Every structure is written in C-alpha cells, then in structure tokens.
C-alpha cells in the first residue's frame, strides 16, 4: 500500500503543528506529504523541514512566494523514486499518463459541497468545473469526512465546505487499481488531512455494469435518467460516459 497526503494546516512555525504533521506521517505510513499554507519563516525552513520530515527529501516554493503561503513537499526517496522510474520507463508524458491532484482548491465543485448558503453556482465553482472537465479529472472513491473545511470549528454556526479533493484521471485508475481517499478529522487545522491510498497488490479488472433494477419501477426514474444523460460533457466518448455515471452529486444538488 502506497499512501500520499495533502494537508492545509496553515502555519508550521509552532511546535504543536509540527508534531501533528509528524503524527499524520507516522500513523498513515506516508511516503509523501504536501503541507499547504505553511507560512514558515525562510530562516527556519530547513530546520523545521529536517525535523518534520526526518530522513526524507523535501522542497518548498519559498523563493517564489512572498506572502508566506508556502507549500512544502516532503517525500520518502526510496518509494517515490521507484514510482517515478516506473512512469519514465513506460514512455508516458504527464498529459497522457496517470496523474493525481491532492489539494485545497479554495472552491466547492458542486452546490451540495456546502452545508449552508446559496443554491446558485458561483463564478469560482463554474471556473473550477471547467478546469476539471478540461483536464478530464474526477474524484477518486472516498471515505471519511464529507466536508473538509470548517470556517468556525468551535462555534455552533460554522460553515462547512468540501474544498479539499483528491482527483485522478482515467489512466491513473487503470494503472493503479482501486485507489481511494480518506478524509480524516480536522485535528489542529480547519482542514481535513486528505490521504490517498494506492493498493500495490492488485490489478485492474474491468467489471460489468450492474445496477439495482428495482429503481426502474420508480415513477421519476426515466425523467432523472433523461436529465442526466442529456447534459453536455466535453471530452472523448468514454470520458463522457464516466462523467455522466458519476454525476449523481450534480443531479441531487
């Protein structure tokens, strides 16, 4: 099992947050961890990263980031280098090969991704959806917390949203069978740690399409199917089919 994670913990200068990262890495046996909005002081960056990631390699966008919202990426070279070598050996480019995105996207993708608020699609949601469709990415199977960001974790009127996602393309699903994401409790951050699990001991096998045929007796079945399949999707034919079969969240919004 290969485990990767992304977490917006907003500030890594404090010891308790450093210890949280260390614990998440250890408990999940991560081979790579992406820390978002770390705000680490440049003078302390090396010391903190060497403490948090121990014998791992790490990098940061500190030289290109003046606001302090730095991204720190740490990885176990023994595992990640093997994965990189596998991709290079296959002759695939990033565009055509398997790839995955783990990130805080700062915007929900569907109306149902917010606990309260307007039922209208915002500009940021529309732009995010257009980007996802253009890249032909979709959510990986997931479990854990439904809403990944809590605006006021200690208040009764806090706004909950799903803005952290793990998304893959079809090539990734075919190469790495049955990957899934686990959105863990908030811990010390307003965001959930997003952990991607990639089984390494199974191979992809195409499965026949099956569904519970009793739903066809529901009076609303045909209308719902018609509404879903008439939606316009960009991309190749197979991508369109996959997007429409996974589009239940948009229909239920």
Angle subtended at Cα 106 by Cα 104 and Cα 110, rounded to the nearest 5 degrees: 100
Say whether pLDDT at 152 is over 60: yes
> What is the average per-residue pLDDT within 183-189?
85
From 11-20, 32-41, 206-215, the region with the lowest mean pLDDT? 206-215
pLDDT surpassing 70 at residue 18: yes
Residue range 178-190: mean pLDDT, rounded: 86
Q: To the nearest whole number, what is the mean pLDDT of the chain?
A: 77
Question: pLDDT > 70: what percent of the chain?
Answer: 73
Domains of the chain, residue spans? 2-206, 213-253
Look up residue 59 and give its two tokens: 């990098």
pLDDT in tens, 54-88: 888 888 776 655 555 667 777 777 665 545 444 44
Calpha distance 207→72 (Å, rounded): 39
DSSP 101: E
Least confident range from 28-42, 70-84, 95-109: namely 70-84
Q: How many CA atoms lie within 13 A of 136 on its CB side?
A: 20
Q: Tell me: the pLDDT tens digits for 153-172? A: 555 666 888 989 998 888 88
pLDDT of 143 above 80:
yes
Of 3-7, 117-121, 171-175, give the lowest mean pLDDT range: 117-121
- For 103, list phi and psi in degrees, rounded to 5: -165, 165
Give residue 94's pLDDT band: very low, low, confident or very high (50, 70, 90).
low
CA contacts within 13 A on the Cβ side of 172: 24
More confident of the two residues 101 and 239:
101
pLDDT of 205 above 70: no
User: What is the b/e burial string over 158-171, where b = at least 16 CB atoms within 10 angstroms of the residue's CB?
Assistant: eebbbbbbbbbbbe
- For the four alpha carbons of 173, 175, 176 and 182, in that order, the dihedral sign comes to negative
pLDDT at residue number 88: 45
* CATH classification (class only), 2-206: alpha beta
The average pLDDT across 92-107 equals: 75
Q: Residues 134, 137, 139, CA angle at the centre, nearest 5°?
A: 145
pLDDT score for 160:
86
């Amino acid at each position: 099992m290969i485990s990767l994670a992304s977490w917006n913990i907003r500030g890594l200068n404090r010891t308790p947050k450093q210890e949280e990262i260390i614990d998440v890495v250890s408990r999940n046996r991560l081979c790579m961890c992406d820390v978002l909005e770390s705000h680490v002081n440049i003078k302390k960056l090396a010391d903190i990263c060497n403490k948090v990631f121990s014998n791992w390699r790490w990098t940061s966008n500190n030289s290109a980031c003046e606001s302090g919202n730095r991204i720190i990426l740490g990885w176990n070279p023994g595992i990640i280098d093997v994965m990189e070598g596998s991709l290079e050996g296959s002759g695939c480019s990033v565009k055509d090969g398997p790839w995955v995105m783990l990130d805080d996207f700062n915007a929900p993708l569907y109306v149902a991704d917010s606990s309260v608020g307007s039922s209208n699609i915002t500009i940021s949601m529309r732009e995010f959806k257009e980007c996802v469709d253009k890249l032909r990415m979709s959510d990986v199977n997931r479990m854990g917390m439904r809403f990944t960001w809590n605006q006021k974790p200690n208040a009764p009127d806090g706004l909950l949203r799903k803005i952290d996602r793990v998304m893959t393309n079809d090539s990734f699903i075919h190469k790495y069978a049955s990957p899934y994401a686990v959105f863990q409790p908030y811990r010390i951050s307003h965001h959930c740690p997003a952990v991607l699990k990639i089984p390494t001991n199974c191979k992809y096998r195409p499965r026949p399409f099956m569904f519970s045929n009793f739903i066809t007796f529901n009076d609303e079945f045909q209308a719902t199917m018609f509404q879903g399949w008439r939606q316009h999707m960009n991309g190749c034919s197979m991508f369109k089919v996959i997007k429409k079969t996974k589009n239940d969240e948009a229909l239920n919004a």
